[in-house]
Amino acid sequence: MVDFPSLERQRLMAVTAALFTHGADTPELLHLWLHLETVTVVVRVAADWTFHITPDEPGESYAMQELDSRVDMVPASAEVFFVRHVGDRLVHVVEKFDTEVPAQCVGAEFIFETGSVVAQSFEGDLHLAGR
């Protein structure tokens, strides 16, 4: 579990992405790691479609040859909205919960000095939107 107030006022230093590729398909964003000044957190959607933010470090890239798939750990591209805020301080994190199952986290808004990023679980995938 993350103590969200402990993340506030920390500068975003880098963003690492886990990209899932099956065969020759276009890579899909699987997880993101936000490297803050004193902690790294992973932003991900679990198998049960719940949204999680937890302290974690990215692992190594790996292949699943039997499935003709791979997961590559790479610096996030400019298309990932968080990258726009590298160098900015995180002001606040607001978790979003399911209206029908109030205990189930479905996303969060990350508010930076220069804007915000909404990350959410949608049909089991991680979706991002910049504001």
pLDDT at 131: 80
**Structure confidence by residue, pLDDT tens digits, 28-77:** 999 999 999 999 999 999 998 999 999 999 999 999 888 899 999 999 99
The residue ranking higher by pLDDT, 110 or 4, is: 110
Q: How far apart are the first and last CA of the chain?
A: 26
What Cα–Cα distance (Å) separates residue 19 from each residue in 8, 35, 103, 105, 111?
Answer: 27, 17, 29, 23, 24
Amino acid at 51: F
**pTM of structure:** 0.92
pLDDT at 74: 97
For residues 42 and 49, the answer to whether their CB atoms sit within 8 Å is no
- 102 contact partners, CB below 8 Å, separation of at least 6: none
- Strand partners of residue 20: 28, 71
pLDDT at 1 over 80: no
**Structure confidence by residue, pLDDT tens digits, 81-101:** 999 999 999 999 999 998 988
pLDDT at 2 over 90: no
Calculated CA dihedral for residues 79, 84, 90, 92, nearest 10 degrees: -60
